[in-house]
Amino acid sequence: MSEQTTRIDVRKTYKLYVGGAFPRSESARSYEVHGADGGFLANASLASRKDARDAVVAARKAFGGWSTRTAYNRGQVVYRIAEVLEGRRAQFEAELRQAQGVDAAQAAASVDAAVDRLVWYAGWADKLAQVVGNANPVAGPYFNVSVPEPTGVVAAIAPTDPLLGLVSVVAPLIVTGNACVVVASEEHPLPAITLGEVMATSDLPGGVVNVLTGRRAELGPPLASHLDVDGLDLAGVSDPALATELEVLAAENLKRVRRPAPAERPEDLLAEPPLERMTTFVETKTVWHPRGL
Give 131 or 270: the residue with its C-beta nearer to another protein: 131
Give the C-alpha distances (Å, rounded to integers) separating 148 from 8, 144, 244.
53, 14, 28
Q: How far is the CB of 231 from another protein (least distance, A)?
A: 9
Q: Which long-range contacts (CB under 8 A, 24 or more apart) does 36-43 make?
A: 36/98, 36/99, 36/100, 36/101, 36/102, 37/101, 41/98, 41/99, 41/190, 42/11, 42/12, 42/13, 42/14, 42/190, 43/13, 43/14
Q: How far is the CB of 230 from another protein (least distance, A)?
A: 7
Give 3 or 264: the residue with its C-beta nearer to another protein: 264
Span from 19-27, 153-161, 194-202, 244-252 in contact with another protein (CB under 8 A): 244-252
User: Rounded distance, CA 133 to CA 137, Å?
Assistant: 13
Span from 108-116, 154-162, 210-218, 282-290 in contact with another protein (CB under 8 A): 282-290
Give 148 or 159: the residue with its C-beta nearer to another protein: 148
91 binds another protein (CB under 8 A): no
59 binds another protein (CB under 8 A): no
Q: What is the Cα 231 distance to its own chain's centre?
A: 12
Span from 31-39, 43-51, 178-186, 238-246 in contact with another protein (CB under 8 A): 238-246
What residues between 163 and 182 interact with another protein by CB under 8 A? Answer: none
218 binds another protein (CB under 8 A): no
Span from 25-33, 44-52, 99-107, 248-256 in contact with another protein (CB under 8 A): 248-256
223 binds another protein (CB under 8 A): no
Span from 41-49, 107-115, 159-167, 270-278 in contact with another protein (CB under 8 A): 270-278
Q: Are strands 179-183 and 153-157 parallel, antiparallel or unpaired?
A: parallel
User: One symbol per residue from 118 to 137: x for binding another protein (CB under 8 A), - otherwise; what is it?
Assistant: -------------xx-x-xx
69 binds another protein (CB under 8 A): no
268 binds another protein (CB under 8 A): no
Binding site for another protein (CB under 8 A): 131-132, 134, 136-140, 142, 144, 146, 148, 151-152, 230, 240, 243-244, 247-248, 250-254, 256, 259, 262, 274-276, 279-280, 282-290
